[in-house]
């Protein structure tokens, strides 16, 4: 007959294994989604991120649209622009909320967009005075790799 301590240890081990499997499943793509991840409008090979270039309008403001969805990625994830005003429109085509927050200590760090719910769009206007690299991320999904970069040249 098993000892009470052995039964408790086996129960604990089974519980930890079940919770670990459930947690790992939360990080995977939804079941039945066999389509490859969307690679963005100007994606290169699989080892390179999708890159988009902000276009300057007649008013002198650069604009780009970034799409987010339930795959926890920005499309494009790398934005090329020039110093000056930049408007980023974020379209959430999924159901999961996201943010877009500039990181680091550089110019405009902490700027961004809070909690964009699924099916919604919003825009942020930034004004950069220097060239450089400005990383951004989703505060909710950075651990899953939802990050990108603005490259000002």
**Could you tell me how far CA 152 lies from the centroid of its own chain?**
20
Dihedral (Cα; 150, 61, 39, 147), 10-degree rounding? 30
pLDDT single digits (tens) 9-38: 555 555 544 444 334 343 333 333 333 443
At 31 the pLDDT is 36
At 103 the pLDDT is 86
Contacts of residue 66, defined as CB under 8 A and 6 or more positions apart, other chains included, come to: 52, 74, 75, 76, 79, 88, 89, 90, 91, 100, 148
Two tokens, residue 51: 């890159």
pLDDT single digits (tens) 96-115: 999 999 987 566 666 788 89
């Amino acid at each position: 007959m098993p000892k009470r301590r052995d039964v408790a240890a086996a129960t604990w081990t089974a519980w930890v294994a079940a919770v670990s499997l459930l947690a790992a499943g939360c990080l995977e793509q939804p079941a039945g989604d066999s389509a490859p991840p969307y690679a963005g409008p100007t994606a290169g090979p699989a080892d390179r991120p999708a890159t988009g270039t902000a276009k300057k309008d007649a008013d002198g403001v650069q604009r780009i649209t970034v799409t987010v969805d339930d795959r926890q990625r920005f499309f494009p994830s790398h934005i090329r622009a020039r110093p000056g005003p930049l408007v980023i429109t974020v379209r959430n085509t999924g159901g999961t909320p996201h943010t877009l927050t500039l990181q680091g200590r550089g110019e405009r760090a902490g700027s961004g967009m809070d909690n964009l719910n699924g099916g919604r769009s919003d825009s942020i206007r930034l004004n950069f005075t220097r060239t450089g690299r400005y990383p951004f991320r989703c505060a909710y999904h950075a651990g899953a790799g939802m990050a990108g970069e603005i490259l000002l040249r």
